Amino acid sequence: MQKDDMVVISTDDHICEPPTLFDNQLSGELLASAPKLKVDSDGKNFWEYQGYIRPSVGLNAVVGRPFEEYGMEPTSLDQLRDGCYDVHARIDDMDVNGIAASMCFGNSIGFDGQTFHKAPDKKLSLRHMQAYNDWHYDEWCMAYPGRFIPIGILPTWDQQATVDEVNRLARKGFNVVSMNENPTVQGLPSIHNDYWDPIFKAITDNDMTIACHIGSGNPAPHASMESPIEAWISTMPMSVAQGVSDWLQLEELHKYPNMRIIVAEGSIGWVPYLMERADFSNWRHKAWTRSRFQDVKPSELMKRHFCHCFLWDPYGLKNLDEVGVENVTYEVDYPHSDALWPDAAELLWEQVKDLSDEYIDMITHKNAIKWLKHDSLFENFKREEINVGALHAQAAAKGVDTAPKSSGGSVPSTETRPVTSGDVMEMFKAHAEKRAKEQEMA
């Protein structure tokens, strides 16, 4: 196999929601009360919903900017690549990157619909969340059938509404739903509480996959406000291990042998050790812990139920058999700061070129199709129409511009020392307080 022969699916990307998000889905008072993209006195965008303000975050949408401008805040849509929020431009950016299909989490509404969870009027939130799901399917995914993997968000604050929405999404054509890895941070019961039983049953009855995105529930820890920000960034993927370890203890994994969980943005290098540690802990402690793992090892259920995504992990790929080659998919993370664009295909090939053709096909697209039930890619395209070479040719024919887009903005620190976690957090805090004050005055 050659690089141009690969068919690549990205199982973790993001949408910077456009200001027209609800325009075709709602009308009247429902449209008037929906989340709004607003502009502050500096001309920077932020989202407002039921009094809750969510700023645009630069590290969530810096693709195509010069590296020295990463981390600058705040941002507005005109500072971003159009592909961050425009589906047609996104296809162009996928083509130039060699990406056949993409699963896109939200940015401004949160990976699991956090904006709707925080709003006080939950009846209104439910209706707006449903409208978001409809927009995501009808106007984003179905604009280019096969090129996107629909992923729904759920009103988990209401058990019956969640079951109903799972069933509605399944009828509509969704095969994946996003859930918070630790719903206790939303004031909800833990995943081990009986509250979730009918929800997990509805998901498995509909043969849907659960997607857990890093940072939705368990924030990546950082040592101190004086720690260089690179220390925090370096450990972010590994922080998802806490959530995975918790989900691995889920009773439903024993009850539903076909339950599927995909872990977004966590990578794979740490997975073999977590399985090894879980097996060791079970061996040494199950006599007193009343563990569910008496006749089966935790590592066995990890391989049966969990899929892990990577974007740059040569070490993890050297240990594929330990992770489980059938449990690995690729991700770009567009347009976040880790995103490999516009050369994802080249950098992926650099990592996998020594693997067998069978393994390359599994990692680049077959596992994603299996775990996310995305048969529509090859229902709409032949392999030779959607491989890296074909997509690069399409991008070249369209003349997709990949030149860095310099946008400027405020910086976390003007000092010569390393930028710290505290610098970045203080910058976010200052912008948030300014916007809140302006909202109060308005």
- Our measurement of the distance from residue 193's CA atom to the centroid of its chain's CA atoms, rounded to an integer in Å, reads 25
Q: What are phi and psi of 290, to 5 degrees?
A: 55, 40
Q: pTM to 2 decimals?
A: 0.95
pLDDT in the model for residue 429: 75
**Helix 87-97 with 388-398: angle, nearest 10 deg:** 120
pLDDT at 77: 83
Looking from the CA of 198 toward its CB, the CA atoms found within 13 Å total 11
**What pLDDT score was predicted for residue 246?**
97
Contacts of 374 (CB under 8 A, 6+ apart): 9, 101, 149, 175, 368
φ/ψ of residue 49, rounded to 5 = -150, 120
C-alpha–C-alpha distance, residues 129 and 149, integer Å: 18
Return the pLDDT at 67.
84
- pLDDT tens per residue, the chain (442 residues)? 999 999 999 999 999 999 999 999 999 999 999 999 988 877 788 889 999 888 765 567 889 888 888 877 657 888 889 999 999 999 999 999 999 999 999 988 888 899 999 999 999 999 999 999 999 999 999 999 999 999 999 999 999 999 999 999 999 999 999 999 999 999 999 999 999 999 999 999 999 999 999 888 888 788 898 999 898 888 888 889 999 999 999 999 999 999 999 999 999 999 999 999 999 999 999 999 999 999 999 999 999 999 999 999 999 999 999 999 999 999 999 999 899 999 999 999 999 999 999 999 999 999 999 999 999 999 999 999 999 999 999 999 999 999 988 876 677 888 889 989 888 888 777 766 666 676 666 6
**Domain hosting residue 241, numbered range:** 3-441
Q: What local confidence, expressed as pLDDT, does residue 432 receive?
A: 67
Number of domains in the chain: 1
Position 78 scores a pLDDT of: 82
Structure tokens at 381: 């395209």
Task: Provide the angle, in degrees to the nearest 10, between the axes of the packed helices 197-205 and 159-172.
Answer: 10
Closest CA to 200 of 230, 169, 174, 179: 179
User: Vertex 148, ends 205 and 331: CA angle to 5°?
Assistant: 95
Phi, psi for residue 268 in degrees, rounded to 5: -135, -15
DSSP, collapsed to helix, strand or coil, labels residue 242 as helix
Q: Are 207 and 146 in contact (CB under 8 A)?
A: no
How far is CA 175 from its chain centroid? 15
Say if residue 328 is exposed, middle or buried (CB neighbours under 10 Å; 0-12, 13-18, 19+): buried
Give the up-direction half-sphere exposure of residue 2: CA atoms within 13 A in the CB hemisphere: 5
Contact 11, 330 (CB under 8 A): yes
pLDDT score at 438: 66
Q: What is the CATH number of the domain that holds 62?
A: 3.20.20.140
> What is residue 69's predicted lDDT score, i.e. its pLDDT?
82
pLDDT for position 59: 60
The pLDDT value given to residue 110:
84
